[in-house]
Structure 1
Amino acid sequence: MKVMSDALLLLAGNKMRSILARMTSNRVFGISTGFLITSVIQSSSATTLMVVSFANAGLLTLVESIGVIMGANIGTTITAWLITILGFKVSMSTIALPLVGFGFGFTFLKKEQFKNLGSFIIGFALLFIGLQFLKEAMPDIKNNPELLEFLSRYTDLGFLSILIFLLIGTLLTVIIQSSSATMALTLIMTAQGWIPFEMAAAMVLGENVGTTITANLAAIIGNFKAKQTARAHLIFNLMGVFWMLILFYPFLKMVSWLSMYLGSESPYISAAAIPVAISLFHTTFNITNTFLLVWFVKPIAKLVEYLVPVKVQDVKTIDEPKFLTKHVLEYPETAIAALVKESKYLYKNAIFEIVAHALNIHRADIISDIKVKKIVKKSKVLFDTNVRELYGTKVKNIYGQIINYATKAQSSLTLNETQNKQISELKIANRKMVEIIRDVKELSRNVTLYLNSDNKYIRKEYDKIRNKAVKVLRTIHLFRTEKENEVFHKKLVKLKREAKTNIHSDNLEIDELIRKDLITVDMASSLFNDFENVNDMIDNLIDVADLLYGKKDMLLDSD
């Protein structure tokens, strides 16, 4: 089962995760997504682990996660039908071994997809070879009456027997770490007449509880969002088991009737009919449980939030990444989401501040409604801004970590062309942020020198420089915060074009000031350099804005 599931994850994982990140906007989509993914990859544990990782990265909300988990519980019932139909109704053992050879041939091909397909075929065939071995290895109860006597001690205790077998199902699933594998064992035990229909149904309920352990173990090292998602899975399954135990016997009678209605024998009479009835019980229980509890998703979410309260994130030092942890490198989607968040955080909380203060402007003024000219005119009190020091304390380490994680993601994860391009663009955006710091470092020194100079002409020129930069910073702020941001994107494109075309006119202005002896040679030299610096800085700022905020993707749109 592991070989088959792992191969399916490699074959369909990228597409499945992409669907998971997009199709969870409402409960119906969430349930459908969970069902689809689990049906395809044949592992509810893998789906739940994905959900926990996505919640941990902030890609899914708690309510969305609960919907996907509900769907995964229905999707996992497909495995039981696969085993029942192909393992008991059809004899796969005769073609299973040739299938292994057929699948093995695919593993020699160069294309990765064919290798994964070969692994899937091998896993699929081994599943039925294993089932055959299990069936043949099970002792014959007719020739081993003492075994039946041992089991009968626990099958004739009334409702206590149900609880005992529920516990056995839970423990087996916890140990094996696969509800599908435990289901296969349960089906074998029923087919061989080891346990009656009621005990097998109780084991299935136990498997529903035991399967939640994988996600809860994974969430131990996650943040509170991951823990909430894992607890939601446990609570949802426990609630289902609770109401099912109340209606246990009537529900089994209904399943028995449905089984006979569909052409099978009564599972109470024929041991051979129990696998079909158990698969039917598994499916009807999970569908009914989802239908009943889907109306209570928000109350379940509130209960989970009460049990696992929102934890204030540990205050990290100023030069530590806020979103990059080793767990984000589990999936391409979580890696990209974390890199986007970290890059945006770096821009908003370091680059924006350093540029504003280096130009002697308050950030609050930039994002206000005050006219740009008025802001520049009133900003005469000099800031004590050491750009080099701010780069060392607020940017350098985080920038290095972003590049480090981006490179690891590209080298260790299976990325499609789009994902690889997204990470490359994030690396470019971060590199440009460092270039912005370099440009503004040169500017800052001269702004400090000339802002309160006695020469009104040099003051006026540096106010022009600051005016240009403030216009761009304000437009970027509106571009990344306003929903209807296309207007501001057009303004940024216009400002970028102006920055490139203004170089000639800026030089002419400086030439005029030199001819008329209105500024000194040193002032002129500084102006030539700083007009070039500010134009480069504007160019880089707009590129960063476009790379981080320009492409509105559901996976990445997390400001």
Structure 2
Amino acid sequence: MSITDLITLAGAIATFLFGMSTMTDGLEKLSSGRLERILERLTSNVVKGVLLGAMVTGLIQSSAATTVMCVGFVNAGIMRLEQTVGIIMGANIGTTVTAQLLRLGDISSDNVLLALLKPSVLGPLLAAVGVLFYMFIRGGKKRIIGQIILGLGLLFIGMKTMEGAVSGLQELPEFQALFSAFSNPLLGILVGAAVTALLQSSSASMGILQAVSSTGLVYFNTAIPLIMGQNIGTCITAILSSIGASRNAKRTAAVHLLFNVIGTAFFLAVLYAGNALIGFPFWENVMDMGSIANLHLGFNIGCTLLLLPFHKVLVKIVERLVPGDAGAPEFNLLDERFLSSPSVALEQARSAVVSMGEKARENLGLAVDLLTDYDEKKLERLNENEITIDKLENTLDSYLVKLTDRALTDPESALVSELLHTLTNFERIGDYAVNVSEIATTMRQREIAFSDVARKEVDAITSAVKATLDITLECYEKRDHDLALHVEPLEEVVDLMEEVLKNRHVERLKAGACTIELGTQFLELTINLERISDHCSNVAMLIVRQTAPASQHLPDTHAYLKYLHAGGDHDFDALFAAYRAQYFAPIEEDTGFDRTTSS
């Protein structure tokens, strides 16, 4: 084998690995988190978990990615350890799809259609089509589809080039001796595990073995230990991802390793003992790409059928291997393991932003309660929530910045921007709720209270602000365009109430019906409540713009709001009138301030 052949082999392996990586990344982007959400929600029993694990892994072509997602979901508290067992078993089956695709290299026929499926023809064809989609066709998901097709094409090109580069090895006595040595099961398992751990992909190491099979030196008794070792080696990715994770996340990675080790030990004992006793006729059969792919599939299905009835036992064993009480850890939705799959990371970030909004809403309710029913425990709960909100803001900022370093699609980049704006608004709402609590504390310390009239006014405006925040959170969580359109009219009613109540209070101060001290607290309270509704409007406008029909071309936010307030939208005016009647009319009186429409 010449130096040229070695360089060609290195380039072929690089092309093959790059093609696999490109295809896998494209498949993950195309899933847009949908497959991951299926994993998260539809794992009610272990058999369903096996099917889902196989489906997801077959579609994204990475058992390591599926297992790492499981580790992340367990660490985030989204899934239980028991739910991951079936998924991990299914992932081992799903990862065999790549080997089945690569077996197309065994096709030999004069039929034109079958000839097109041979890697030597199919690879360049797919690469050309993929480049066309990836570089020249814009819009929608065509670029991602092009990436997948291009990756698959490079996979076949790399495979065919590897076959040609290793063809000269069959004549080398050293290479023949090397593959003969792999018939030693322990050595074969160690080499298979080491190569797969290095590549962090059992599909990639399986593809290399299939390419080497073209030399005619791969026999059943050498292939089976290598395949078993590859299944063990692929566990390294999940093990590395579990470092620093919760105890149950570490146990999830241990389930993956234990499943493959037990399956390997069992079938190794059965096969070698059986061959020693009766002598299998296929023991020294030469393996081609198709038979290697089938052996890989059969081994993983066999392991699953063997251990599926004992899935609960596997959980108990790993709980012994990774001792200690998992307790109730602080789950981290923003697990950095998700960054390798941006669609999942964005879904988790969005859940964290929603959590921020819910805590801000809880704090507003607590702060308003403190105005009439001061309770130290409620204040303590409010302060704990505020600390959590601030931590979430800092963590989310950092997390989303790290996410922008990944290759994101245009919709994913838009969602990152939306999340950054939304978390800022929710954090400010939390701050204004704290301000309201400080007003309540000041009034408590100074032993002052609002008059009955002022109390009625406060109740009215706080009810309107609470309703604004409720609608905002619901429209954001559901991404509901129609519901988001309700926020701005209600926010305008809050603006009207704040302005009218401020003027009334000034009149009461002039008449001596209210003290300066109480007046200051009242005005500060209404200002803070009105600013909460302003931030609700900011969030709702984001949803209005992001979810608007493609046919509806909205101007920039400032111009759009100006258009609404000028009476340009009848639906807006109708909603404003309805909310005004609901929240402002009960406290409205003749104050010399006439405002019948929004401004």
| Aligned residue type for 2:17 | K
Which residues in structure 2 correspond to 1:399-548 (within 5 Å)? 399-410=393-404, 412-415=406-409, 417=411, 419=412, 422-437=415-430, 439-440=432-433, 443=436, 446-451=439-444, 458=451, 461=454, 465=458, 469=462, 499=494, 502-503=497-498, 506=501, 510=505, 513-514=508-509, 517-520=512-515, 523-524=518-519, 526-537=521-532, 540=535
Is 1:283 the equivalent of 2:302? no
In structure 2, distance between residues paired with 1:349 and 1:303: 39
Q: Deviations over 1:468-501 (max 9, x none)?
A: 6599779989x999xxx9xxx99x9899797466
| Selected match of 2:250 from 214, 217, 227 | 227
Other-structure match for 1:30: 49
Cα deviation, 1:18-69, whole Å, max 9, x if unaligned, reads 2122245133443233323333344333433444344444444333332222
| Separation in 1, partners of 2:57, 2:433 | 52
CA shift in 2, pair 1:57/1:239, >3 Å: same
The aligned residue for residue 195 of structure 2 is 172
8 Å CA contact 1:332–1:409 kept in 2: the answer is yes
2:67/2:88 contact within 8 Å kept: yes
Q: Which residue of 2 aligns with 1:379?
A: 374
Please state if 1:306 is matched with 2:329: no
* Partner Cα distance (1:116, 1:132) in 2: 25
Partner of 1:243 in structure 2?
266
**CA separation in 1, counterparts of 2:328 and 2:436?**
36
Report what 1:137 is aligned to: 168
Alpha-carbon distance in 2 for matches of 1:185, 1:281: 15
For residue 424 of structure 2, give the secondary structure of its aligned residue in structure 1. Answer: helix
Q: Which residue of the partner structure matches residue 76 of structure 1?
A: 95
Cα 1:12–1:251 change in 2 (3 A) is farther
Equivalent residue of 1:80, what SS? helix
Correspondence for 2:36: 20
Deviation of 1:344 after TM superposition, in Å, equals 5.5
Q: Tell me the distance in 2 between the aligned counterparts of 1:524 and 1:426.
A: 38
* Contact 1:190–1:200 under 8 Å retained in 2: no
| Structure 1 residues not aligned, in runs of 5+ | 156-160, 258-265, 316-320, 362-375, 549-559
Match 1:11 to one of 26, 32, 54:
26
Report sequence identity in percent: 22
1:239: Cα distance to partner? 1.9
Q: 1:450 and 1:392, CA in 2 relative to 1: closer, same or farther beyond 3 A? A: closer
CA distance in 1, matches of 2:182, 2:49: 40
User: Counterparts of 2:265 and 2:243 in 1: how far apart (Å)?
Assistant: 25
Q: Is the 8 A contact 1:96 1:126 kept in 2?
A: no
* TM-score normalised to structure 1 length: 0.70
Corresponding residue of 1:336: 346
8 Å Cα contact 2:202-2:234 kept in structure 1: yes
Cα distance change, pair 307–348 in 1 and its aligned pair in 2 (3 A)? farther
Q: What do you get for the CA RMSD once the two structures are aligned?
A: 5.0
Relative distance call for 1:449 and 1:404 in structure 2 (3 A) is: same
Q: Is the CA contact (8 Å cut-off) linking 1:443 and 1:533 kept in structure 2? A: yes
Q: Structure 2 length as normaliser, TM-score?
A: 0.66
State the number of aligned residues: 498
> Structure 1 residues 442 and 72 mapped into 2: Cα distance closer, same or farther (>3 Å)?
closer
Counterparts in 2 of 1:399 and 1:248: CA distance versus 1, 3 Å: same
Name the CA shift for 1:383/1:201 in 2 (closer, same or farther; >3 Å). Answer: closer
SS at match of 1:237: helix
Structure 1 stretch displaced more, 464-473 or 330-339: 464-473
Following superposition, the deviation at residue 200 of structure 1 comes to 1.9
